[in-house]
C-alpha cells in the first residue's frame, strides 16, 4: 500500500516538474506572483492554454477573481468555459500558464487536494452518488475534514463519532438552507433533475469552500427553477461569504446575478468587466449575434 502511494506521488511529481519546465512566460509569472500575493484575490489565472488533439480549446486566458464576488464566465458553445473550470479544479492539465489559488501557485492543480485548498465545484452533467441518500451525498462533501480510520468507524470510537456528529450538524444546516428537508432521506437517484442539481450545490456548499465553481448550475431547468437557483447562489455568497465562479449559458440570469463577467469566444477572452460594460462591448455583441443567428438563438439582452 505504501509502495503504491509512493509510486503515485512520484508520478504526480514528475508530471508537475515537466509542466514547470514547459512554462516559459516570465512576464506572466511575475504578474501572477503580484496578483496571488494580493489577499483580496482568491484565484488568478495567467496565460492559460490547452489544446485537444491540435484544437486550441483555450489560449492565453487571464482571469482574476476577488473575494466575495460572483464572477461569471460566459460564451457560446465550445468557447472553452468548461475546459476552464476543469483546469481550475485539476481535472484537465493546462499546456501552458499558471493558476494561483489563495496564494499558492500551480501549473497543475492537484484534484485530490482541491477540497483542502478550499475549492468546491459542481458539474455540468450531474455527478452525484446515486446509491446514497440526499443527506449522505451532502455529508460526503465534508469527507476532506475526516481523520478517523475505518477501524475507528467500525468500532464506533469517540473520534469517528464526533466527526459524524459534526458533519451531521453541518449537513442539517445546508439541508435547511436549500430547503431539501422533505427529500433528505430519499435516494438521490430518485429525485427530479432540478432537485438533483440543488443537492449537488449542497454537497459543494457543505465543504464551506472559499471558492465555489458552478458549471452551468441552471442548465436544463425551467424558468422558475432557474430563478430559485439564482436565489440560492446569491444567498450562498451573501450568507456564507463564498466567492463564486459561475459558468452559464443563460445570459439573462448571468447579467442579473454576477458582479463581473468574462466572455470567452473560440478559447480567447474577448471581454471582461461589469455586466453593463460587457453588454456594451462590440466584440461581445459580434460574437453572440454570430452564434445567435447560427446556432441556438441566445439573446444577450
167/287 with CB nearer other proteins? 167
The owner of cell 438552507 is 177
Percent helix, strand, coil in the chain (nearest 5)?
50, 20, 30
Residue 160: CB minimum distance to other proteins, A: 7
CA angle 124, 101, 51 (to 5 degrees): 55
Residue 151: CB minimum distance to other proteins, A: 9
59/89 with CB nearer other proteins? 89
Can you spell out the DSSP letters for 143-178?
Answer: GGG----HHHHHHT-HHHHHHHHHHHHHHHHHHHHT
Residue 286: CB minimum distance to other proteins, A: 36
Residue 134: CB minimum distance to other proteins, A: 13
Residue 200 has, within 13 A of its CA and on its CB side, a CA count of 26
Q: In what order do the strands lie in the sheet with 70-74?
A: 119-121, 211-215, 243-247, 70-74, 260-265, 268-273
Residues that bind other proteins in the complex, under the rule CB under 8 A? 1, 4-5, 8, 89-91, 111-116, 120-121, 123, 127-132, 136, 139-141, 143-144, 146, 148, 150, 153-154, 156, 160, 163-169, 172, 203-204, 207
Residue 138: CB minimum distance to other proteins, A: 10
Residue 289 has, within 13 A of its CA and on its CB side, a CA count of 8
199-234 per-residue burial string, b: 16 or more CB within 10 A, e: under 16: bbbbbbbbbbbbbbbbbbbbeebeeebbebbbebbe
Exposed (0-12), middle (13-18) or buried (19+): which is 125, by Cβ within 10 Å? exposed
d(CA 62, CA 59): 9
17/127 with CB nearer other proteins? 127
1/24 with CB nearer other proteins? 1
Residue 99: CB minimum distance to other proteins, A: 15
119/261 with CB nearer other proteins? 119
122/243 with CB nearer other proteins? 122
165/280 with CB nearer other proteins? 165
Residue 65: CB minimum distance to other proteins, A: 18
Amino acid at each position: 500500500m505504501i509502495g503504491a502511494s509512493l509510486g503515485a506521488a512520484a508520478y504526480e511529481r514528475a508530471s508537475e516538474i515537466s509542466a514547470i519546465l514547459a512554462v516559459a512566460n516570465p512576464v506572466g509569472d511575475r504578474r501572477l506572483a503580484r496578483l496571488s500575493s494580493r489577499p483580496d484575490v482568491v484565484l488568478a489565472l495567467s496565460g492559460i492554454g490547452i489544446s485537444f488533439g491540435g484544437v486550441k480549446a483555450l489560449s492565453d486566458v487571464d482571469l482574476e477573481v476577488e473575494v466575495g464576488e460572483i464572477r461569471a464566465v460566459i460564451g457560446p458553445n465550445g468557447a472553452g468555459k468548461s475546459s476552464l473550470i476543469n483546469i481550475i479544479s485539476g481535472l484537465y492539465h493546462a499546456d501552458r500558464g499558471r493558476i494561483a489559488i489563495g496564494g499558492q501557485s500551480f501549473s497543475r492543480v492537484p484534484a485530490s487536494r482541491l477540497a483542502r485548498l478550499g475549492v468546491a465545484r459542481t458539474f455540468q452533467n450531474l455527478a452525484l452518488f446515486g446509491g446514497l441518500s440526499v443527506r449522505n451525498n451532502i455529508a460526503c462533501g465534508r469527507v476532506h475534514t475526516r481523520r478517523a480510520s475505518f477501524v475507528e468507524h467500525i468500532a464506533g470510537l469517540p473520534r469517528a463519532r464526533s466527526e459524524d456528529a459534526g458533519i451531521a450538524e453541518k449537513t442539517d444546516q445546508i439541508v435547511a438552507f436549500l430547503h431539501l428537508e422533505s427529500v433528505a432521506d430519499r435516494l438521490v437517484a430518485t429525485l427530479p433533475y432540478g432537485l438533483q442539481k440543488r443537492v449537488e450545490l449542497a454537497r459543494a456548499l457543505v465543504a464551506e469552500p472559499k471558492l465555489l465553481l458552478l458549471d452551468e448550475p441552471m442548465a436544463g431547468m425551467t424558468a422558475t427553477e432557474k430563478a430559485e437557483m439564482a436565489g440560492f447562489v446569491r444567498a450562498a455568497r451573501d450568507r456564507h461569504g463564498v466567492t463564486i465562479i459561475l459558468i452559464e449559458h443563460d445570459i439573462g440570469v448571468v447579467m442579473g446575478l454576477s458582479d463581473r463577467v468574462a466572455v470567452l469566444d473560440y478559447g480567447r477572452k474577448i471581454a471582461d468587466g461589469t455586466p453593463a460594460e460587457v453588454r456594451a462591448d462590440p466584440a461581445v455583441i459580434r460574437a453572440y449575434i454570430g452564434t445567435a443567428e447560427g446556432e441556438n438563438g441566445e439573446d444577450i439582452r
